[in-house]
Amino acid sequence: MFKGILIEKDEAGYRASLTDLDEAGLPEGDVTVRVSHSTLNYKDALAITGKGPVVRKFPMVPGIDLAGTVGHSTHPDYKTGDSVILNGWGVGETHWGGLAQKARINGDWLVPLPEQFTPQQAMAIGTAGYTAMLCVLTLERHGVTPSDGEILVTGAAGGVGSVATAILSRLGFRVVAVSGRPAEADYLTSLGAVEVLDRALFETPGKPLGKERWAGAVDVVGSHTLANVCASTKYRGVVAACGLAGGMDFPATVAPFILRGVTLAGIDSVMCPRRERLEAWRRLGSDLDISKLAAISNEIGLSEVMPLAARLLNGEVRGRVVVDVN
């Protein structure tokens, strides 16, 4: 038996609880992992509270991230004792996830723990941080360089936003952070933001085209914010869109795209091909200042996950949440 969070949905309703799980109940897979740490992402919070249709099969162990050591493996690339991490692939949505002391998964989904990081540090980065790096790689792939001008990061005090701010500033970009929490301005400056803007400036319907300011942007908010970011992006600038913290809609016009050649690049971390994942983790190893992870992350135990999930969806949690599952 081992401890884990279980989400159930039946006549008694939708509920998540910390419970004892039987190893015989683990799903199929060729690698069994002794989990040391998992995380609490926005998507996990939606799954645990039931506020979003994340869980596609019940009962489900949530947790889209995990770090741990291989306990048993029939996969050619992994042997007992290897340190591994996992992000996405539907884990915590359709396949039992990381918020438990054990997981059994398909070895093709695993990434060896990068040598620069402890399991705890890799989870301080987690899916949110790896997604932030995918956004940065996309800006680079489209040719955005520090000499092109400022980069806007929305939802900056959250997980994706914090890591994106830290990476981009380390790479020499002038990062302008957008946050709804003025109290976090010093935190964002410490991560490298040169200016912090109130998110209220972006949340209401704006004009199809605004003053050109951003060479690039990382948006986690969606809705009017994403529309306004696109409208104020410079000629041939690039917006990496990865989130919906402010809404799933996109009430925009095509003006920025057809009149300014703005590129709107979609980012998905869940099914991202392995080659690009490995590249994202390699770049996290070289381009994220590890000393900033302590400020970005907080650690909790499994029993604290449920109350914190509700607070995270209310935008009350700063940075990243690491869960020590043992």
Contact positions toward ligand NDP, by CB under 6 A?
Answer: 41-43, 127-128, 131, 155-161, 179-181, 199, 220-221, 225, 242-246, 267-270, 312, 315
The H or E element spanning position 294 is helix 293-296
Smallest distance, Å, CB 48 to ligand NDP? 13
Smallest distance, Å, CB 70 to ligand NDP? 25
Q: Which is nearer to ligand NDP, 150 or 184 (CB)?
A: 184
Q: What is the DSSP letter of 103?
A: E
241, 135 contact by CB (below 8 A): no
Distance CA 54, CA 95 (A): 12
- The closest of 162, 147, 33, 98 to 324, measured between CA atoms, is 98
Q: Which is nearer to ligand NDP, 102 or 320 (CB)?
A: 320
3-state secondary structure (DSSP) of residue 78: coil
Distance CA 111, CA 122 (A): 11
Q: Which is nearer to ligand NDP, 199 or 234 (CB)?
A: 199
Q: Please, which residues have CB within 8 angstroms of residue 156's CB and are 6 or more apart in sequence?
A: 162, 164, 165, 177, 178, 179, 184, 188, 193, 196
3-state SS, one letter per residue, for 211-246: CCCEEEEEECCCHHHHHHHHHCEEEEEEEEECCCCC
Q: Which amino acid is at 35?
A: V
- Cα angle 126, 99, 137; round to 5: 15
Smallest distance, Å, CB 176 to ligand NDP? 13
3-state secondary structure (DSSP) of residue 73: strand
Q: Which is nearer to ligand NDP, 119 or 159 (CB)?
A: 159
Q: Which is nearer to ligand NDP, 35 or 220 (CB)?
A: 220
Smallest distance, Å, CB 82 to ligand NDP? 25
Q: Which is nearer to ligand NDP, 121 or 225 (CB)?
A: 225
- Chain position whose Cβ is nearest to ligand NDP: 158
84, 70 contact by CB (below 8 A): yes
Smallest distance, Å, CB 317 to ligand NDP? 6
- What backbone torsions phi and psi does residue 63 show, to the nearest 5 degrees? 115, 100
Smallest distance, Å, CB 272 to ligand NDP? 8
Smallest distance, Å, CB 270 to ligand NDP? 6
Q: Which is nearer to ligand NDP, 69 or 298 (CB)?
A: 298
- The closest of 167, 169, 151 to 159, measured between CA atoms, is 167
Smallest distance, Å, CB 300 to ligand NDP? 14
* Residues pairing with 195 in the sheet: 176
Q: Which is nearer to ligand NDP, 129 or 256 (CB)?
A: 129
Q: Which is nearer to ligand NDP, 44 or 150 (CB)?
A: 44
Smallest distance, Å, CB 173 to ligand NDP? 18
